[in-house]
Structure 1
C-alpha cells in the first residue's frame, strides 16, 4: 500500500471509517477511490481491520487503482487477547463496535501525525457508526454517513420508533402479524411486517445490533449529508421522503457502476462456458460471501436444477458440496452446468446468456442484477433481504420471492419455468431492463448519481 501522504500540497484530510463485516468495506473503498480522484488535494485516511483491508485492497492495489492521496490504516478487531468465543450471534460485530470509538480516535491520531499534523476536516463513515455524529461535532467537522444498502431498509431503521409505536413490538417472529402492511411509512405500502429486518418490531429488539441500528436512525438527521448506494429513480417516493428528513440525501449509486473495479479474473472459466449457451437461458446461482442455505435447501435446489434441465452456473463453497445429492456433480457438471467456488459475478450477470439470478437478495447482488438486466428468484435469509425480495417481486416487479421463504424443489422448478419460458418472464425481463436503463442514465454525465457525487466532493474538499 501507499506511503502516507504528507501535509505538503494538501488542503483537506478526510477520515474514512469502514465497517469490516459482510460486504460493507468494498463499496466504501470504491467511493473513497473515486473521491480521491475527484479531490487530488485532499488526503483520505481509510480505517478498517487488517483482515478486511487485505480483502478489499488486494485487487485495487494490483491494478494501481488506489490514488497516492489514499492511505489504509489498521484498526483493532476488538477481540481481547485470549478471548473465548461463546457462539453468540454477531459476537465479532459486538466486540468490534464496543472498541470502535476508541480505536478510531487512536487511528486518527496516527493518521494526523503521518500527514504532518494535517487535522481531519471531514468524517465519511459507514452509517452503522452512529457515534461518529458526536465525534464530528466535537471535532467541528462534517459527518457524512454512507448507507451501503437501499432506501427501503434505511427507511425501516429511520422510522423504527414510529413503527413500534404504531404496531407495537411483535414477538415469536411476528406470528399473526406477518401480512400487516407498513402503510404508515411513505412508499412502503406493499411492505409487510414480516418483511422488516429483525429487531425493528420482532425478534430481539434489545440486542446490541438492534440497538445499534435504532441509534443510527436517530443520529442520521445530524449528518451534513447521508450517502446511499442506489439511484434516486429506483424508489422515488421513499427517496423523496428521506430527502425531507435529512439535511442532504445523496444517492450516489450503484457504486459498482459509478466506481468500477477491473473485471475480476475468471479463474474457473465461467465466461467461456457462457459463450456456448443460448440467449437468456442460464440460471446463475450465488448467495454472496456470508450466506449458505441449509443442507436440505441445497438438496432441493440441486434437484430442481437437474430436473428442469436448465443450464446453470452455481457459485458454491467447496465445503457445501458434500450436502448435494449423490451423483449430482457427476450427472450435471460440464454437461448441464458448472459448479465453481467463486464466480466473477458482475461479469456473469452482464452476459447475454444469463436469464435468471437465484440469489439471497443482498443489496449488492440486487443492484448488480439490475445493472445486468437479469430477473431474480430471491430466497431471503436475514437483515434487509426480505425487504429487498418484496421490492423485487411486488414493487419493481423484476423477479420472484420464494414463499414461504425456503427453497423447495417444486417451487424452484415453477419459478424457473415462469421466468425462462412463460409470458411472466417476458414482463419481468422488460421491467428489469427498464430499471437498467434508468441506472445507466443516473450514472451518466448529467445523471442524478453523478450530480450527487459532485455535491459529495464539495463536502470533502475545499477545492474539488
Structure 2
C-alpha cells in the first residue's frame, strides 16, 4: 500500500483555493501526497501574480490543470458563466487526467478526491472510478447546515422550492443557534442558477465520506451539532503566505504600517469578489477621509472593478494608503491595526477572529449576512454598518461606527478572548487536530 495521495479540486475563486491550499499543506506535513488541480486560467493568473507555484513541489504538492472551457478574453467575474462552463467541460476531462497522474507513479495512485462546493461532480467521477471522496466546505458550518436543511426549510414553508423566502419571520435551524432571517440564507443574491445547483450538490455529497469544515467547535457548536458528518478541522492556518493569490500582493503596506502607532489604522477590504457600486464607493472614500486616523484600503484593480476608479473630487486620502491586494493575514496580525471593515466572507472572518481584531460588518451576498450575525450577535466582536433609505452606507455612518467600535473596551476584550479560544484550538490536542488526524488515518 502506497502513501495517501489526494487529488484536490477547488472552485476557482480565492475563497475556495486558499483554504484548500492550507488543508493540502497540513496533509503534506503528515506525509501525504497532493496533486492540486487548478483551472488553466487560474494557474496562469496565480503564477503571473508571483505565486511561484512550481516551488511547492518540494513540499509534496504538485500542480495540474484543466481548461475551464472559456476563452482567455471571457469575463471570469461572471460566476454563472464560469460555473456552467466548468460543469459542461471539466467532468469529461477528469478521468483521463487521473489516468495520466496514476501512470506516473503507479505505486502511489490517487486514493481520495477532495473537492469544494461547485466542484462536487468530481466526487461522482471518482466514485465511478472507485476513488474515495471528501468535501471541504469553505464557508461557515452554519451555511452548510442551512444547505443541509433545505428540504426541511421547504417543508416548514420558510422558503419555496426555488429557495425564495416565503415570509419575513425569523427562524432557528436548531435551538442553540442564532435566529436567522430567511432573506439572509447563503444562496441569497447569487442568482437563480445556484439554488437548484446547491440542492443537486447536497445530494452528490452523500458520495463523500467526509465533510470537512474550516471552523471550530467553539465558534459554531450549534451548527456542527446538526449532523455528525460535519467535521470541524479549522482554523486552517498552515502558512502565513498566500501561495495562490490571483493578484500581486503589495508588501510596501507592511513598511507603511510599521510607521503607524499601535492600534491606530482602520483596515478596509471586501475580499476577492464583492463589487462596490460607484455611489457607495464615493461615500466610503469620503467616510475614510472623515476619520481622524490612518486607513489601509484594498481596492482591487481587476477588470470587474473598473467602476471603482472614480474617487470623488473632494477625497484627500492623505491619511491613508490605498493598495491593490495585500497579504491579509500579515496585515491583520500587525500591531498597528485597530479594526477591520469587512465583507464578512468566512476566510476573512476566521482570519480576523484569529487576529483578535474587532469588525465593522459590511456584507454583500451569500453567507456573509449569517457571518455578520455571528460577529455582531453571537460572539459580539463587531458592529454592523447600517444602510440609509436608498440602500447606501453613508460617510457619517462609517465615522460614527468606527468611533463607537474603537471606544468599546468590551468588544476589544471579547475579540482577544475569542482569538485565544480559536488559535489555541489549532494547537495540537484539540478537537480540530484530532479530527484532521482521524481523516488522515482513514486515508492511510
TM over 0.5: yes
Alignment counterpart, residue 433 of structure 1, candidates 392, 395, 416: 416
In structure 2, do the counterparts of structure 1 residues 342 and 45 end up closer, same or farther at CA, with 3 Å as the change threshold? closer
Alignment counterpart, residue 81 of structure 2, candidates 77, 81, 91: 91
Are 1:217 and 2:217 counterparts? no
Alignment counterpart, residue 307 of structure 1, candidates 284, 290, 304: 290
Q: CA deviation at 1:20?
A: 1.3
1 CA distance for matches of 2:78 and 2:320? 38
Residue number in structure 1 paired with 2:69: 78
Are 1:154 and 2:135 counterparts? no
In 2, are the aligned partners of 1:18 and 1:47 still within 8 Å (CA)? yes
Q: Give the alignment's TM-score, normalised by structure 2.
A: 0.87
In structure 2, do the counterparts of structure 1 residues 156 and 354 end up closer, same or farther at CA, with 3 Å as the change threshold? same
In structure 2, do the counterparts of structure 1 residues 406 and 111 end up closer, same or farther at CA, with 3 Å as the change threshold? farther
Are 1:253 and 2:234 counterparts? yes
In 1, are the aligned partners of 2:372 and 2:384 still within 8 Å (CA)? yes
1:71 aligns to what SS in structure 2? Answer: strand
Worse-matched range after superposition: 354-363 or 30-39: 30-39
In 1, are the aligned partners of 2:344 and 2:368 still within 8 Å (CA)? yes
What is the 5 A alignment of 1:52-451?
A: 52-55=42-45, 61=52, 64-67=55-58, 69-79=60-70, 90-116=80-106, 118-169=108-159, 177-178=167-168, 180-198=169-187, 207-243=192-228, 246=229, 249-255=230-236, 257-261=237-241, 267-318=250-301, 319=306, 322-328=309-315, 331-333=316-318, 336-404=319-387, 406-421=392-407, 425-451=408-434
Worse-matched range after superposition: 222-231 or 52-61: 52-61
Residue number in structure 2 paired with 1:15: 7
2 CA distance for matches of 1:18 and 1:66? 18
Q: CA deviation at 1:184?
A: 4.1
Q: Which runs of 5+ in 1 are unaligned?
A: 1-8
In structure 2, do the counterparts of structure 1 residues 84 and 284 end up closer, same or farther at CA, with 3 Å as the change threshold? closer
2 CA distance for matches of 1:86 and 1:311? 34
Alignment counterpart, residue 28 of structure 1, candidates 16, 20, 37: 20
In 1, are the aligned partners of 2:41 and 2:67 still within 8 Å (CA)? no
- Note the alpha carbon deviations across 1:240-259, whole angstroms, 9 max, x for none: 2232xx2xx3222221x234
Counting matched residue pairs gives 433
In 1, are the aligned partners of 2:157 and 2:166 still within 8 Å (CA)? no
Q: CA deviation at 1:398?
A: 1.0
In 2, are the aligned partners of 1:378 and 1:400 still within 8 Å (CA)? yes
In 2, are the aligned partners of 1:226 and 1:250 still within 8 Å (CA)? yes
Q: CA deviation at 1:172?
A: 12
Q: CA deviation at 1:174?
A: 6.6
1:99 aligns to what SS in structure 2? Answer: helix
1:72 aligns to what SS in structure 2? Answer: strand
Superposition RMSD in Å: 3.1
Q: CA deviation at 1:61?
A: 4.0
2:231 aligns to what SS in structure 1? Answer: strand
Worse-matched range after superposition: 217-226 or 408-417: 217-226
Q: CA deviation at 1:14?
A: 2.3
Q: CA deviation at 1:175?
A: 8.2
Q: Which runs of 5+ in 2 are unaligned?
A: none
1 CA distance for matches of 2:74 and 2:25? 37
1:317 aligns to what SS in structure 2? Answer: coil
In 1, are the aligned partners of 2:426 and 2:433 still within 8 Å (CA)? yes
1:167 aligns to what SS in structure 2? Answer: coil
In 2, are the aligned partners of 1:158 and 1:218 still within 8 Å (CA)? no
1 CA distance for matches of 2:55 and 2:375? 36
2 CA distance for matches of 1:397 and 1:86? 36
In structure 2, do the counterparts of structure 1 residues 271 and 133 end up closer, same or farther at CA, with 3 Å as the change threshold? closer
In structure 2, do the counterparts of structure 1 residues 99 and 311 end up closer, same or farther at CA, with 3 Å as the change threshold? same
2 CA distance for matches of 1:267 and 1:213? 36
2 CA distance for matches of 1:250 and 1:173? 26
2:115 aligns to what SS in structure 1? Answer: strand
